[in-house]
Amino acid sequence: MTSPGLALFTGPVGAAMRTVPPLLSPAAPVAQAIEAMRAADESSVIVVDEAGRAVGILTERDVLRRVAFRLPADAPVSAAMSAPVRSVPQDERLYRAVGLMRAHGLRHLPVVDGKGRPLGMLRRFETYAAASARLLAAVETLARGDDEAGFAATRAAQAGLARTLLDEGLPAAEVIGVVSEINLDIHRWVVERALAVAGPPPVPFTLLVMGSAGRGESQLAPDQDNGLILQDYDDARHGEVDAWFIPFAEDLNRRLEAAGFPLCKGHVMARNPVWRKTLTQWKAQVTLWAERRSPVALLFGDIAFDFRPVWGDAQPAAALREHLKRTLAAHPVFLAALAAEDAKMTVGLSFWGGFRDDEPDRPGVRTDLKRSGLMPLVSATRLLALKHGVAETGTRARLAALAQLGPVSQAEAEGLAAAFERLAGALLRQQLDDVAAGRPPGTLVELPALPRAEQAAIRAAMKRVASFQKGVVSSFGGGVW
């Protein structure tokens, strides 16, 4: 069951705000403000200018501190209000708003539209009521600042947040989803900061994330897998477009690195022209991959096909997804080739059912739970999803969609989702232990050191994944092409 505090991290502020309190002009007398609060049974009024934009706030606390026995009833509300007023946009994540309220000791936080006009109000007591004290403390660590150093601090704080959510009883897969969403928020903020320096782009663009980020399955140490879809433009503008996007993409990837996302060693980033193209060029590239089936094409497809738009117009990504669906339907041999490659990622069990040692040079038995546990499941599920035109990118969402379509039974989908939860949970807890010990979060887990019941559950999960992977590969002709 989902923790009630999860909404603090994944939902927009609109889900928690109350209706907008009374709105008054700066010249309105404080007596009118007090009467408006009483009549509306509200604890605040928002002061707006002639354009309807919030310029101040007067709360019951302000009345006690600044009005009672100090100001005459006909004094303008501007003499008692708090200004400038802190506010948040309606699409802001609730965890950011809660962090802002805690960091600045705010009891009221107006929610505004794109022009700064009030839409509603967040009230501290009601907003906090959904979360435990530990969750609130974890939230506070996430609202660090609106620059790359602040974003990096947010990234670093995710381990504490993840540990708190696990301890609160949130399933590991849900915790990973929360971490992933926060990472995507950071990507969006970084784009905005890069645009503030670069100025308006010559053509609109969409930022894509790929790999684990595109699946919403980022663990605690994700690197960058991103690209840009540019709006199509005339060839005559090529020089102008490149002159803007080349430095922009370099700056974007540098800022993401400074925010805690290491550069991708495989150069799957917007700064690489392979991953920065117009929609027409992206479609042609996907078609070329499917036709040639080279090792590089298979590697790129394995990363890119989990793409997800995170900034800009989502329609180009939807158009690319539809083109991918048609292309793979016309080139089924490409999926067979992918199956042959994915079959090389074997589950980390020995012939006798013991855990495979993926680090034989060190004492003990350590199994790479990402490559030898999660990835065989992720890859096999992706293959089936691509074959059947499933648009979802997350592994659990893909399993649910496949169960609806019929290639996977409902019972099998539920069993595989449980296996994903078991393996992802063991990996996440290992990464949290790594962070607590001052080590970089890794993917190797000393499974024999776990309690016997946990070992048995992980072994059963890996066997289920191995059986599923074998069946999927066989359905593509055994991976022979």
Residue 479: which region, alpha, beta or left (left: phi > 0; alpha: psi -120 to 50)? left
Residues 6+ apart with CB under 8 A from 281: none
> What's the pLDDT tens digit per position in 203-247?
999 999 999 999 989 888 888 999 999 999 999 999 999 999 999
> What's the pLDDT tens digit per position in 416-445?
999 999 999 999 999 999 999 999 899 999
Task: Return the CATH fold of 4-130.
Answer: CBS-domain (3.10.580)
Task: Return the CATH fold of 171-326.
Answer: Beta Polymerase; domain 2 (3.30.460)
> What's the pLDDT tens digit per position in 455-481?
999 999 999 999 999 999 999 875 444
| The pLDDT of residue 458 | 96
The answer to whether residue 1 scores a pLDDT higher than 50 is no
The answer to whether residue 281 scores a pLDDT higher than 80 is yes
What is the CA angle 142-145-150, rounded to 5?
75
The answer to whether the peptide bond before residue 84 is cis (omega within 30 degrees of 0) is: yes
- Encode burial over 362-373: b for 16+ CB neighbours within 10 A, e otherwise: eeebbbbbbbbb
| The pLDDT of residue 103 | 64
279 to 318, 326, 446: CA distances (angstroms): 11, 15, 45
CA atoms of 263 and 270, how far apart (whole Å): 11
Domain locations along the chain: 4-130, 171-326, 335-475
Q: Contact 277/229 with Cβ under 8 angstroms? A: yes
What is the mean predicted confidence (pLDDT) over 159-171?
81
pTM: 0.75
Please tell me which of 66-75, 363-372, 408-417 the model is most confident about, judged by mean pLDDT: 408-417
What is the mean predicted confidence (pLDDT) over 292-311?
90
> What's the pLDDT tens digit per position in 75-86?
899 988 888 898
The answer to whether residue 169 scores a pLDDT higher than 90 is no
CA atoms of 213 and 429, how far apart (whole Å): 19
Count other Cβ atoms within 10 Å, centred on residue 427: 24
Please report which confidence band the pLDDT of residue 155 belongs to, taking 50, 70 and 90 as the band edges: confident
Q: Which of the two residues, 179 and 56, has the higher pLDDT score? A: 56
Q: Which two tokens stand for residue 238?
A: 């090529």
Instruction: Classify residue 57 by burial, with Cβ atoms within 10 Å: 0-12, 13-18, 19+.
Output: buried
For the chain, the average pLDDT equals 87
Q: Which two tokens stand for residue 477?
A: 């002709």
Report, at the CATH architecture level, how domain 335-475 is classified: Up-down Bundle (1.20)
